[in-house]
Amino acid sequence: MITIKDLTKEYKTKKGTVTGVDHVNLTVNEGEVFGIVGYSGAGKSSLLRCMNLLELPTSGKIEVDGLDLTKLKGEALRKARLKIGMIFQHFYLISQKTVAENIAFALRAANTPKEKMESRVLELLDMVGLSEKKDVFPAQLSGGQKQRVGIARALANNPSVLLCDEATSALDPKTTLSILRLLKKINRELNITIVLITHEMNVVKEICDRMAIMQAGRVIEEGPVYEIFSSPKAELTKEFISSVVSFDVPSAILEQVSGCIVKVMFKGSLAGEGVISDTVQQFDVRGNFLHGSIEYIQEIPLGLFLMEIQGHPDNIARALTYMEGRGAQVEVIRNGH
Amino acid sequence: MGIDFQHIIELGPDILKAFGQTMYMIGVSLTIAIIIGLPLGIVLFVTDRGLFMENRFIKSTLGFVVNMVRSIPFIILLVALIPLTKLIVDSTIGPAAASVSLSVAAIPFFARIVETSLREIDKGVIEAAVAVGATPWMIIKDVLLPEAKPSIVQGVTMTIISLVAYSAMAGVVGGGGIGDLAIRFGYYRYDNAIMIVTVVILIVLVQIIQQLGDWTSKAIDKR
């Protein structure tokens, strides 16, 4: 759906040239939700804004739905943008126009016939759950409601792609979740490809199929969200993931325990299958949970446990091998003493 | 110092006529300032760097002309434009003649006010309109003007008040109006009563205009 080839975006400042996006190659498949994660200044926003040419790349190519955007100008570019919806962190609604007028504005950009306008506006409002707010001005809406209007506006002309620029970063956790659910619904029911940028791993965990991590203008890691969560490679990726799956055990506790400390990870359905209790029963070892959690990423469980295992070293070794045999990833943090 | 009310009543018709002339001058020049200054202000804004109709040449040329006119003191503009006035209204005295210079002064003044009002709009709102695929004309009509409307109304108020002050100078070229009355009677004939009456009229006028402007701006603002 979106193919980015060797994209570079440089900014000229008084202090010289700053590279915002540095030779990025990326493919977003049709129908998926793709997340781009990074700290502010990593270039994720620049990259996203290149995808509808709000920012003109310095070099490289961006194809959206088979159309090379970098070759387009004026009217042709405007027409292409009708098919690329975008929502923003700060919503950017026209404050002096009602909710319905804001959506109608987008429809007029596509020359929607007058007689179809009203019904389409109502249809869109119904989809985002704001039917009763039709004639209200944005100032009277909550953040979540404003974002819903933004979404309705972005979807007005049946786009094939929806770009989300930190769409939930200005919202509280509960509202964030409701907006993410709405985005997921749009992705599923309308088959709209979604690209979102965020610095919150929770957002990615909630709705993304695949993700990329950016640092200093480059994509440093890319892949299916579950894979990245279960086996992150880059340091930065691990750091981001630790914001969701944190494994800090107070050192005082670590000093108290004397056994072997292992980190055990279960992927997929295994997380629910009593591997640990089987192990403990079979190998004459004692297990003691120090920390543990099961995260559901795209509704697939990812179990992570920090355990102390006590017993004869041979038994422990066999127990660990057994767990690995059952598909768990085992990492010894500290041997017993 | 006593005020001779009898004297003021005697001059009533003159005062009324002068007031009418002031209103005429302000009305004509304000209308022209809006008709020409509003599009000019919009062009100054949308041709600016990073905006959807960025055009360096137009921006700097218009900017230069606007600054040039604005840098000429009105009293000099009034005299310098006499040939133009003659060409347009076929006369160099009277309110119609004074309206020419007033308009020329008010156009760039109002254009800059419009430009400043448009600059206050969150760039993101304009960008969102660009992203939605709106035409430049749609952005101007449905985003820029509505979003800046409360601020532009304040700008109109400022322009009217400036025109009240400028129109008082029109007396210099025999333009008529309240300022003219003040100069002819109050200044040249040492008629303090007239002087006080004209000043009071101007004060009341400006207060009313400001109040009306504030009220309108607030009433139309949906934020």
The residue type at A239: E
Of B132, B147, B149, the CB nearest to A106: B132
| Averaged confidence pLDDT in chain A | 91
A-chain residue closest to B220, CA distance: A96
Task: Confirm or reject contact between A157 and chain B (CB < 8 A).
Answer: yes
Cβ pair A93, B125 in contact under 8 A:
yes
Q: How far is A138 from chain B (nearest CA, A)?
A: 8
**Per-residue pLDDT averaged across A10-30, rounded?**
92
Q: How far is A137 from chain B (nearest CA, A)?
A: 7
What is the model's pLDDT at position A271? 61
Residues of B with CB under 8 A from a CB of A: 122, 124-125, 127-135, 138, 142-143, 146-147, 149-150, 220-223
A-chain residue closest to B219, CA distance: A96
Put simply, the answer to whether B142 touches A106 (Cβ < 8 Å) is: no
Of A80, A96, A156, the CB nearest to B146: A96
pLDDT at A242 > cutoff 70:
yes
Taking CA atoms, B26 is separated from A157, A187, A216, B21, B22, in Å, by: 47, 58, 58, 9, 6
User: Is the ipTM, as predicted for this complex, more than 0.95?
Assistant: no
Pick from B117, B126, B127, B132 the residue to mutate for testing the A interface (most A CBs within 10 Å). Answer: B132
Backbone angles phi, psi at A294, to 5 degrees: -120, 115
Task: Confirm or reject contact between A82 and chain B (CB < 8 A).
Answer: yes
A-chain residue closest to B53, CA distance: A74
What is the model's pLDDT at position A15? 87
Of A86, A110, A139, the CB nearest to B131: A86
**B143 vs A contacts (CB less than 8 Å):** 94, 105
**A11 vs B contacts (CB less than 8 Å):** none
Put simply, the answer to whether A105 touches B128 (Cβ < 8 Å) is: no
Domain map of chain B by residue range? 5-220
**Per-residue pLDDT averaged across A150-154, rounded?**
97
CATH code that applies to domain B5-220: 1.10.3720.10
pLDDT of chain B, 223 residues: tens digit per residue: 556 777 778 778 888 898 999 999 999 999 999 999 999 999 999 999 889 899 999 999 999 999 999 999 998 998 899 899 989 888 888 888 899 999 999 999 999 999 999 999 999 999 999 999 999 999 999 999 999 999 999 999 999 999 998 988 877 777 788 888 888 887 788 888 888 888 888 899 999 999 999 999 999 999 8
What is the model's pLDDT at position A270? 64
What is the model's pLDDT at position B48? 94
What is the model's pLDDT at position A219? 95
Task: Confirm or reject contact between A158 and chain B (CB < 8 A).
Answer: no
Put simply, the answer to whether A96 touches B127 (Cβ < 8 Å) is: no
The residue type at B191: D
Q: How far is B149 from chain A (nearest CA, A)?
A: 9
What is the model's pLDDT at position A311? 87
Put simply, the answer to whether B132 touches A105 (Cβ < 8 Å) is: yes
What is the model's pLDDT at position A203? 92
**B133 vs A contacts (CB less than 8 Å):** 78-82, 106, 109-110, 157
Put simply, the answer to whether B222 touches A156 (Cβ < 8 Å) is: no
Put simply, the answer to whether B124 touches A82 (Cβ < 8 Å) is: no
A-chain residue closest to B143, CA distance: A94
User: What are the tens digits of pLDDT across the range A23-49?
Assistant: 999 999 999 999 999 998 899 999 999
Of B135, B142, B149, the CB nearest to A78: B135
For residue B94, is it left (φ>0), alpha (ψ between -120 and 50) or beta? left
Ranges of beta strands (E only) in B133-181 are: none
pLDDT at A286 > cutoff 90:
no
Task: Confirm or reject contact between A56 and chain B (CB < 8 A).
Answer: no
The residues, ordered by sequence, that sit 6+ positions from A37 with a Cβ below 8 Å of its Cβ are A44, A197, A198, A199, A201, A204, A211, A212, A213, A214, A240
Q: How far apart are CA A195 and CA A280, in angstroms?
A: 45
Pick from A73, A75, A95, A166 the residue to mutate for testing the B interface (most B CBs within 10 Å). Answer: A95
**With bands split at pLDDT 50, 70 and 90, how would you rate the model's confidence at A248?**
confident
Task: Confirm or reject contact between A137 and chain B (CB < 8 A).
Answer: yes
Put simply, the answer to whether B129 touches A105 (Cβ < 8 Å) is: yes
Q: How far apart are CA A52 and CA B210, in angstroms?
A: 45
Q: How far apart are CA A90 and CA A87, in angstroms?
A: 9
Structure tokens of B209? Answer: 């205009």
What is the model's pLDDT at position A260? 87
What is the model's pLDDT at position B177? 87
Q: How far is B200 from chain A (nearest CA, A)?
A: 38
Q: How far is B222 from chain A (nearest CA, A)?
A: 5
What is the model's pLDDT at position A209? 94
| Domains delineated in chain A | 2-242 (3.40.50.300), 251-334 (3.30.70.260)
Three-state secondary-structure class, residue B132: coil
What is the model's pLDDT at position B2? 59
Put simply, the answer to whether B128 touches A92 (Cβ < 8 Å) is: yes
Put simply, the answer to whether A154 touches B132 (Cβ < 8 Å) is: yes
**Per-residue pLDDT averaged across A328-336, rounded?**
83
